[in-house]
Amino acid sequence: RPLPVTRLADVLARHGNKNPFFMNHVLSVRQFTRDDLHLLFAVAQEMRTGVQRAGMVPLLSGRVMASVFYEPSSRTASSLQAAMLRLGGQVFTASSETSSVAKGETLEDSVRTFGSYADVIALRHPQPGSVQGAARFANTPVINAGDGVGEHPTQAMLDTFTIREELGTVNGLTVTLVGDLKNGRTVHSLARVLAQYKNVTLNYVAPAGLGMPGSVKRDVALRAPYVVQTEYSELSDEILANTDVLYITRVQKERFDNLDEYEQAKSMFVVDNSLMRKCKRNMIVMHPLPRVGEVAPEVDTDQRAAYFRQMQYGMFVRMALLALVLCRDF
């Protein structure tokens, strides 16, 4: 049975009939308040119900999304495309190999072009800040699908949604971020979102030289001086015993100039069954994926391994985001 549109209208009414996403670019998590995110999450829950009931929620019939990825992607690209299709819309794709970028066209001109054909543009680019710069030239909303080592706002949104769905709340949790925190745009955005919640503790565990950037830590401190941020070089038993969310990121080979340094860092932190025995029973392990050895396959059957559920939550959150960006109301 299809999802009644009145349910979505009720969600919007509970949030004052204000849609802060409508026809706006989605470039950084810093654009949105916690109330904005809770509206997004409430719509995402309805999207999940709608997909489970009927396979789709046809709010965007006749709308088109341009999926423009200048870096490789499996989950972000495919989940955004699946989200648009399950909303009844259509998608066309472009990349650095298939577009006129290969001929030397500027990103700004490409965005102008895609905006002429589409109602919304999902854009990934390897240069930090490039998506924000390109959005100035777009006449349609641009969604930042990852800009190099900068931000990944939709990932942070789905990560926060995952925590809420799995543990019931974000308030009061200890979140331990592990791996390449210097180059991991997912953790940059996530830390900024988590700073909006009460009594959150953030542990940063990284190899030498790959710690959380000072700019991110300053943003968190300015937004939420009461959030505890602590840096570590080892993932100790004490940290594990007090962690509610263990968020693992891969060491990103593509960001290294020196492969010897990459080889030294890539296997420093590995989650396996022996490590999981040191963790709480009611904690979760998250990973933005892909993984390249930092989470052993043997952990997949542990009920606390949330990374595949996290992946599915992502489609519902991106459905909600696209609907809110393109629909003033329901």
Q: Catalytic residue among 1, 98, 103, 301, which?
A: 103
SS3 content of the chain, % helix, strand, coil (to 5): 45, 15, 40
Estimate to the nearest angstrom the gap between the alpha carbon of 216 and the chain centroid. Answer: 16
* Active-site annotation holds for 230: no
Q: Which of 7, 75, 223, 255 is catalytic?
A: 75
Beta bridge partners of 26: 143
Is 7 annotated as catalytic?
no
Residue at 260: amino acid letter = D
Active site residue 198: no
Q: Catalytic pick from 48, 76, 140, 154?
A: 76
49 carries an active-site annotation: no
User: For the packed helices 34-54 and 307-326, what is the interaxial angle rounded to 10 degrees?
Assistant: 100
- 3-state class of 297 per DSSP? helix
DSSP codes joined into one string, 2-39: PPPHHHHHHHHHHTTT--TTTT--B--GGG--HHHHHH
Cis peptide before 288 (omega within 30 of 0): no
Tokens of 195: 């700073």
Residue of 25, 48, 86, 124 marked active site: 124
Token look-up 């030397």 returns 104
Cβ atoms of 248 and 269 within 8 Å: the answer is yes
Q: Clarify whether 304 is annotated catalytic.
A: no
Q: Are 230 and 176 in contact (CB under 8 A)?
A: no
- Of these residues, 63, 125, 152, 182, which one is catalytic? 152
Joined tokens for residue 233: 């070089």
Residues labelled catalytic: 75-76, 103, 124, 152
